[in-house]
A = this chain, B = another copy of it.
Amino acid sequence: MSMIGILGGMGPLATVDFMDKIVRLTGASRDQEHLPLLVANLPHIEDRSSAIIDGGADPLPALLDGIDLLNRNRVGLIAIPCNSAHHWYAPIRAHSKAPVLHIAQTCVAAVPHTARRVALLATGGALVSGFYQQALAERDIEAVTPNEAMQPRVAACIREVKAGYLDLAAAHLEEVLAMFAHDGVSTALMACTEIPLAAQRIASPPLTLIDSSLELARAVVTYACERGWNRPR
C-alpha cells in the first residue's frame, strides 16, 4: 500500500481544505476505506510570490526538502496544494522519485469546452510566472487577468485567508467577481488554493468558479483509488 504525499502549509488552511476535499471525495463508509495520506505542512517555506516578483528569498531549497521528506517515507504520489509553488514544478518533478501532479493541468482540464475566455484569480507571482496562461493557451482559451485596480483585491483576499479572516476575504473576492461579471466573463479559475475558502462564504457567485484545489483533489483520489490504496491487501 502506498500513501499520498501532500506538500502543504502554503498556506495551512488551504492544506486543511485540500485534505477535507480528498476525504469527502473518497466516498468511504468507514475509516478503513479511506486513503492514507502523509502531509508535510511546512508553512515556513519562503513566500513564493515575493520570490517570483521581487527577488525575495528562494523557496526552492525548502520545497525540495519537503519533497525529500515525502519520498524518504515512500509516498506513491505527491500533490502540492499551492499554485504559486508550481512556478518551480520542473525542478521539483526532476528531483522527486514519486510522480508529482501539476495543479494547473488538473484545473485547466476542468474548464468547460464552451468557455473561450476565463478569468484568472491567482497571486501576483503565479500571474507573472505565466504557467496558467500557457496551460490555457494550449486549449485555445484566453486568460483574462485582473486590472491594476483589482489585482490588489485578489492579493488581499488571499492574505486574509492566510490570517484566518474568511469574511473579509470573501468581501474582497466579491468585488473582484462583480468586476469580471460586469466585463462579460462567465468563468473564473480560482488558481490560488486560498480563494476557495473565501468563495465558500459567497452565497451566489456571479460567475462559474473552477476550484484548483478541488480539481487537484479529484485527480489525487482518482489516481489512488484506481491503484487500490483505499483497500489495501
A residues adjacent to B (C-beta < 8 A): 1, 9-13, 15-16, 19-20, 23-24, 26-47, 69, 72-73, 159, 162-164, 232
Contacts and interface: CB of A to CB of B under 8 A. Distances in A.
Given A1-B44, A9-B36, A28-B43, 14 more contacts: A11-B30, A16-B19, A16-B20, A16-B23, A30-B162, A31-B45, A31-B162, A32-B47, A34-B43, A37-B39, A38-B40, A39-B39, A44-B232, A72-B73
A43 B39 contact: no
A11 to B, nearest CB: 4
A30 B159 contact: yes
Contacts of A69: 38, 73
Q: Which 8 A-B pairs have the closest CB atoms?
A: A34-B43, A39-B39, A37-B41, A11-B31, A29-B163, A12-B23, A31-B43, A12-B34
A13 B38 CA distance: 15
Of A26, A36, A45, A232, most buried by chain B (CB within 10 Å of CB) is A36
B32 A44 contact: yes
Nearest to A19: B16
A24 B73 contact: no
> For A10, A20, A30, A44, which residue has the most chain B Cβ atoms within 10 angstroms?
A44
A24 B162 CA distance: 10
7 contacts: A12-B23, A12-B26, A12-B28, A12-B35, A16-B23, A31-B44, A69-B73
A167 B92 CA distance: 41
A41 B39 contact: yes
Nearest to A194: B31
A97 B140 CA distance: 55
Contacts of A28: 12, 43, 162-164
Contact of A44 (B15, B36, B45, B73): B36
Nearest to A1: B44
A192 to B, nearest CB: 12
A23 B161 CA distance: 11
